């Protein structure tokens, strides 16, 4: 009988004053119990990861803490900008480990962007930082969740995937950020990674418009006519099954969820508000277009409950499960 392929995962434990360290450790233990062929490395300060004792010796053998010392003491729920570099160090360790083959995938706990921007570091978010460190010009943020049988009449469970053409921008800056080239590249990246990383042979993609009623033939805006529709047409000419633009308020109907492999929204809340409403806190953030596999939780640092034993590790567990599946698929096809 062939031996199971071993998968090595790294977790960056995120903002030390938030729930990242506790959900990372809890989810790691749960996932190690699920998958006997997984090794997990937790990246973070050892003191933050010592609060939850691990009684199962077999799990301990497959769990490593790669210790990185904090720059300043931590009080749960209280941000300290002096630890901003510590958070970046964890990300750098995970990225380098994935690029050199030590790790098969990285999973990131939530961070607090405000602690970077209080100092001299300009930091927009995980997605943008990963792109810069990996020297990748264009990456795509995509959220994934499995919808159960019966939800909206689904006859079988279905993966809901929502990608974004723009990410962390003020709403007033979104129209100027959109271009035919950007949207075409976003469609191509989503199509490519669905095929190569998710194993979807012929992805079906839906694209939203920007304006109410998808511009209503130009009456409510011209971006659909000038930018979005030409990008969709260009993608179709490349053989991609992509459709739209659809009004944002009707794009996620029950029939389409059962048939579409990924939805592309023009801006953050257009895609993630409906996604998070139906994903019950079990969504996973995936960065497409990178040379490495990266998944993350779909929630923030939850400073108000940090250190109180109230944090739900469900999203982190789902992030581990998806990272494992993507890494396993990559090993099988390589």
Average pLDDT over residues 110-114: 90
Q: Identify whether residues 14 and 78 lie together within a single domain.
A: yes
Q: Identify whether residues 188 and 312 lie together within a single domain.
A: no
Q: Identify whether residues 245 and 129 lie together within a single domain.
A: no
Residue 52 has pLDDT above 70, yes or no: no
Q: Identify whether residues 159 and 256 lie together within a single domain.
A: yes
Q: Identify whether residues 204 and 232 lie together within a single domain.
A: yes
Instruction: Read off the DSSP letter of residue 227.
Output: I
* Number of domain units in the chain: 2
Q: How far apart are CA 1 and CA 245, in angstroms?
A: 50
| pLDDT for res 2 | 45
| pLDDT for res 51 | 61
Q: What are 239's two structure tokens?
A: 């053989």
Answer yes or no: are the C-beta atoms of 125 and 139 closer than 8 Å. no
Q: Identify whether residues 162 and 251 lie together within a single domain.
A: yes
Residue 3 has pLDDT above 80, yes or no: no
Q: Identify whether residues 144 and 243 lie together within a single domain.
A: yes
Q: Which of the residue ranges 160-164, 255-259, 270-274 would you say has the lowest mean pLDDT?
A: 255-259
The size of the chain, in residues, is 334
Q: Which residue, of 273, 289, 305, is where some domain finishes?
A: 289
Q: Identify whether residues 152 and 255 lie together within a single domain.
A: yes
Q: Identify whether residues 264 and 185 lie together within a single domain.
A: yes
| pLDDT for res 1 | 35
- Which CATH number belongs to the domain containing residue 263 in this structure? 3.40.718.10
pLDDT band at 26 (very low <50, low <70, confident <90, very high): very high
Q: Identify whether residues 173 and 36 lie together within a single domain.
A: no
Q: Identify whether residues 123 and 184 lie together within a single domain.
A: no
Answer yes or no: are the C-beta atoms of 318 and 282 closer than 8 Å. yes
Asked whether the whole model's pTM tops 0.85, one would answer: yes
Q: What are 165's two structure tokens?
A: 């053409």
Using CB atoms within 10 Å of the CB of residue 297, give its burial: 0 to 12 exposed, 13 to 18 middle, 19+ buried.
Answer: buried
Please give the residue that has the higher pLDDT: either 128 or 90: 90
List the domain range (segments joined by +) for residue 201.
139-289
Please give the residue that has the higher pLDDT: either 52 or 289: 289
Please give the residue that has the higher pLDDT: either 151 or 161: 161
Between the two ends of the chain, the Cα-to-Cα distance in Å is 21
Please give the residue that has the higher pLDDT: either 109 or 279: 109
Average pLDDT over residues 206-225: 94
Q: Give the CA distances from residue 71 to residues 18, 48, 64, 87, 90, in Å, rounded to whole numbers and listed in that order.
A: 16, 13, 21, 10, 12
Q: Identify whether residues 131 and 263 lie together within a single domain.
A: no
Per-residue model confidence as pLDDT tens digits over 290-332: 999 999 998 899 999 998 989 999 999 999 999 999 999 988 8
């Amino acid at each position: 009988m062939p031996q199971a392929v071993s998968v090595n995962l790294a977790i960056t434990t995120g903002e030390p004053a938030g729930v990242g360290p506790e959900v990372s450790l809890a989810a790691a233990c749960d996932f190690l119990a699920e998958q006997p062929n997984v090794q997990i490395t937790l990246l973070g300060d050892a003191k933050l990861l010592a609060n939850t004792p691990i009684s199962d010796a077999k799990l301990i053998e497959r769990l490593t803490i790669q210790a990185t010392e904090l720059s300043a003491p931590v009080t749960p729920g209280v941000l300290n900008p002096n630890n901003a570099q510590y958070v970046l160090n964890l990300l750098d360790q995970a990225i380098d480990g994935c690029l050199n083959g030590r790790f098969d995938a990285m999973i990131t706990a939530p961070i607090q962007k405000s602690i970077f921007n209080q100092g001299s570091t300009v930091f927009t978010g995980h997605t943008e930082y990963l792109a810069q460190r990996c020297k990748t010009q264009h990456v795509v943020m995509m959220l994934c969740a499995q919808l159960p049988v019966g939800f909206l009449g689904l006859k079988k469970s279905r993966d809901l995937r929502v990608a974004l053409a723009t990410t962390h921008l003020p709403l007033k800056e979104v129209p100027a950020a959109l271009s035919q080239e950007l949207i075409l590249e976003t469609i191509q990246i989503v199509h490519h990674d669905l095929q190569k990383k998710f194993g979807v042979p012929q992805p079906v993609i839906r694209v939203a418009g920007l304006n109410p009623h998808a511009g209503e033939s130009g009456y409510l805006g011209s971006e659909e006519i000038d930018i979005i529709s030409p990008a969709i047409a260009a993608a179709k000419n490349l053989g991609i099954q992509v459709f739209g633009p659809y009004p944002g308020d009707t794009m996620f109907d029950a029939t389409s969820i059962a048939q579409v492999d990924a939805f592309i929204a023009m801006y953050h809340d257009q895609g993630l508000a409906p996604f998070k409403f139906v994903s019950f806190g079990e969504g996973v953030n995936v960065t497409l277009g990178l040379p490495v596999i990266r998944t993350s939780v779909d929630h923030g640092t939850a400073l108000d409950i940090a250190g109180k034993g109230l944090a739900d590790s469900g999203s982190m567990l789902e992030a581990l499960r998806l990272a494992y599946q993507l890494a396993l698929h990559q090993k099988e096809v390589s």
